[in-house]
Amino acid sequence: MTDVTTGPRRTAGGPGDRVPAPAAVPAPPARRPARRRSLPWSVRLLLLPFVLFFVATFVVPIVYSLWTSLFSVTSGGGLGLSKSETVFVGLENFARVAQSDAFWTGMGRVLLYGLVQVPFMTVFALVLALVLDALMARVKKLFQLVYFLPYAVPGVVAALVWAYLYVPQLSPVVQLLERLGAPSDVFLQQDALLLSIANIATWSWTGYNMIIILAGLQAIPRDQFEAARLDGAGELRIAWSIKIPSVAGAIGLAVLMSIIGTVQLFNEPTILRTISNNIDSQYTPMMMGYNAVSSDPGFSSAIALSMALVTGVLVFAYYRLSTRLSR
Amino acid sequence: MSAATAPTTSARTAPRTTPRPDAAPRFTWRSVPPVAFLTISAVYFLLPLWWLVVSSTKSNSSLQNSNGFWFDAPQILENLQRTFTYDGGMFPRWVLNSILYSGGAALLGTLLAVSAGYVLGKFHFRGKGLVFGGILAGVLVPNALLTIPLYFLASAVGLVNSPWAVIVPTCVSPFGVYLARIYAEQSIPDELLEAARVDGAGELRTFFTIALKVLAPATVTIFLFVFVSSWNNFLLPLMMLNSEELKPVTLGLYGWQTYRGAASYDIVLTGALVAIVPMAVLFFTLQRHLRTGLAAGSVKG
């Protein structure tokens, strides 16, 4: 609009022209003062749709769940002939959540699950990434593809396949273990269930996390390793002192997303419930919230908000812990 | 002294290492444990898929009476036919629904995210930090917190049991905006936009004819992410949809497993295999783009 580049004007308009401008244009003018004026309407038109959709599907639901959590639906009794009434109950729904044994049992269960699954999966992904990064390039591509493959399998399908692999009549794995003396419900007995669920999640997400970490590892300039090797550092030392610190951010982010996912655990236990009586409809907080949706909407909203609150506390604690550790 | 030797050593080693930074070390016994570890891990990741492929060729009785890891009187065609015609041909509808919902959400979501990311990456305006910060915070919002009230909202406006109730929430991708913004910042030179303006193109035209072409790789990545997350979605359609004809394939299979139990092992397994195929095709053809997206996420950390 105003000051176009100096020098002969190149045909920069062509869409095919992707020559990096800074290299081609002599002395790019020092960072042009940003156009801080208000946006032309046509530019707003590009931003607005997303913002509207975002508000409708993120902001409004959160506000609306705060609102619904303050009400309770009382059925007038009888066979649904009398009208049900919605009454304002203040924070009563939250009090019910706080006093609900089922909620805290479920929450304790998912936290215990997370305490095992998240570290195990993260370390597994990290070790896979480190070994792949250090090993020969030829097989790297193949292994990478194999580990990433479960990402292409929908979570529900993965859970169904594993569920069948836990069923004694179907599963060659169980049959093998039985021959070694394990009970036939080895994967589905009460004490083993959380580990069986953790296995499904680990199978689904390790490769995904491994790819993120591997991408971080491959962005490290290789000459750093060369320098360390000349100083006499072995591969393990290089991994520990150079590689892992360089991808700490990526690992931290992966753990963060896993923590958020853990509190909402739903798909795997819901699928396993179809083959095991040891999982009830309130096995996890999310299952509990889902089951109350139509019968008790205010309570359901309060559960969702309480879950978010617990998630927030965990994320905050994790953040404090990781900043302290990195200092 | 050491300062003088350092450059020479690196100069001496440089030609050997630079052409193939990842060059394979020669075989040594020390590389056996790591390779064994990689191989055992690969078996773990492949085993369920192998079992699925083998099992989807079996009849219900041979599922329970033959070696699970090997074929036994393969009858994949019969199974496919049974799966596709069971319940009056529900399964093909579910697959089609999944394709429509995921394709629709991915198209819409990509357009929304790319245009917003472009504006956030290439323009400056008051409140930009707030808008972008708000959108990024969306990445951290637990799904559960959104899904339950989304159901109440949908039922308030009469959208329960409508495809839109599934498509609209899944198409909004804060991560997509983040990706598009970084990509726009890095790959669209200001001069290109200036030149378009000098040539008299309006902002919208500049976006659709020029910026979108430059942003094409990011567009593919975002499309894939939204498509995959929509295809894998379970909780949202479980809440929103209750007629059989509207279910996506994940929900349909879950219904079969829940209500038909052991009698439907064979069709659920064959259906599960079919449900993976579109993903696998996308995955193998476009996995480079998926990995680029994930890499961008890792650099941020």
pLDDT tens for each residue of A263-300: 999 999 999 999 988 999 999 999 999 999 988 999 99
| A134 shares contact with chain B (CB less than 8 Å) | yes
Name the average pLDDT for chain B: 85
pLDDT of residue A73: 84
pLDDT tens string A115-170 = 999 999 999 999 999 999 887 667 788 898 899 899 889 999 999 999 999 998 88
Residue B234 structure tokens: 């379970």
State the best of A47, A141, A284 to mutate against chain B, taking most chain B CBs within 10 Å.
A47
pLDDT of residue B27: 65
Q: A226 burial class (0-12, 13-18, 19+ CB within 10 angstroms)?
A: middle
- A51, A215, A307 ranked by CB distance to B142: nearest: A307
pTM, full prediction: 0.85
Q: Which is nearest to B267 in space by CA: B130, B94, B27?
A: B94
Average pLDDT for B145-173: 94
What stretch of H or E contains A88? strand A85-88
Residue A82 structure tokens: 């009398």
Contact state of A226 with B17 under an 8 Å Cβ cutoff: yes
State the best of A62, A64, A140, A156 to mutate against chain B, taking most chain B CBs within 10 Å.
A156
> Which long-range contacts does A307-315 make (Cβ < 8 Å, 24+ apart)?
A307/A107, A307/A263, A307/A264, A307/B142, A307/B144, A307/B145, A308/B141, A308/B142, A308/B144, A308/B145, A310/A107, A310/A263, A311/A259, A311/A260, A311/A263, A311/A264, A311/B142, A314/A259, A314/A263, A315/A256, A315/A259, A315/A260, A315/B140
Residues B283/A152, Cβ–Cβ less than 8 Å: yes
Task: Look at residue B22 and tell me if it is in a domain.
Answer: no
pLDDT tens string B76-124 = 898 999 899 888 889 999 999 999 999 999 999 999 999 999 999 999 9
Q: Any idea which of A132-141, B45-54, B55-64 has the lowest mean pLDDT?
A: A132-141
pLDDT of residue A2: 36
Query: Given 3-state DSSP classes, what are the helix, strand and coil percentages for chain A, each rounded to the nearest 5?
Result: 65, 0, 30
| A222 shares contact with chain B (CB less than 8 Å) | yes
Task: Look at residue B19 and tell me if it is in a domain.
Answer: no
Q: Any idea which of A61-65, B131-135, B176-180, B285-289 has the lowest mean pLDDT?
A: B285-289
The answer to whether the Cα torsion of B12, B17, B19, B25 is positive or negative is: positive
pLDDT of residue B162: 95
Contact state of B144 with A264 under an 8 Å Cβ cutoff: yes
SS3 of A72, please? Answer: strand
Integer-rounded Cα Rg, in Å, for chain B is 25
CATH at residue B213: 1.10.3720.10
pLDDT of B191 above 60: yes
Q: Any idea which of A79-88, B169-178, B285-294 has the lowest mean pLDDT?
A: A79-88
- B63, B189, B298 ranked by CB distance to A170: nearest: B63
| Domain assignments of chain A as residue spans, ordered by start | 106-326
Residues A156/A271, Cβ–Cβ less than 8 Å: yes
CATH of domain A106-326: 1.10.3720.10
Task: Look at residue B283 and tell me if it is in a domain.
Answer: yes
pLDDT band at residue B26 using 50, 70 and 90 as cut-offs: low
- B124, B148, B153 ranked by CB distance to A289: nearest: B148
Contact state of B116 with A267 under an 8 Å Cβ cutoff: no
Domain of B211, in residue numbers: 79-300
- Share above pLDDT 90 across residues of chain B, in percent, rounded to a whole number: 50
Total domains in chain B come to 1
Task: Look at residue B63 and tell me if it is in a domain.
Answer: no
pLDDT of A260 above 60: yes
Searching chain A, which residue's CA lies closest to the CA of residue B137? Answer: A58
Q: Which is nearest to A134 in space by CA: A208, A204, A229?
A: A229
Task: Look at residue B59 and tell me if it is in a domain.
Answer: no
Q: Any idea which of A305-309, B67-71, B226-230 has the lowest mean pLDDT?
A: B67-71
Contact state of B189 with A20 under an 8 Å Cβ cutoff: yes
Q: Any idea which of A128-132, A207-211, A270-274, B286-290 has the lowest mean pLDDT?
A: B286-290
Task: Look at residue B223 and tell me if it is in a domain.
Answer: yes
Average pLDDT for B143-170: 93
pLDDT of residue B143: 83
pLDDT of residue A64: 95
A-chain CB neighbours of B280 within 8 Å are 152
Residues A287/A307, Cβ–Cβ less than 8 Å: no
What stretch of H or E contains B200? none
Q: A11 burial class (0-12, 13-18, 19+ CB within 10 angstroms)?
A: exposed
Is pLDDT larger for residue B233 or for residue B29?
B233
pLDDT of A79 above 90: no
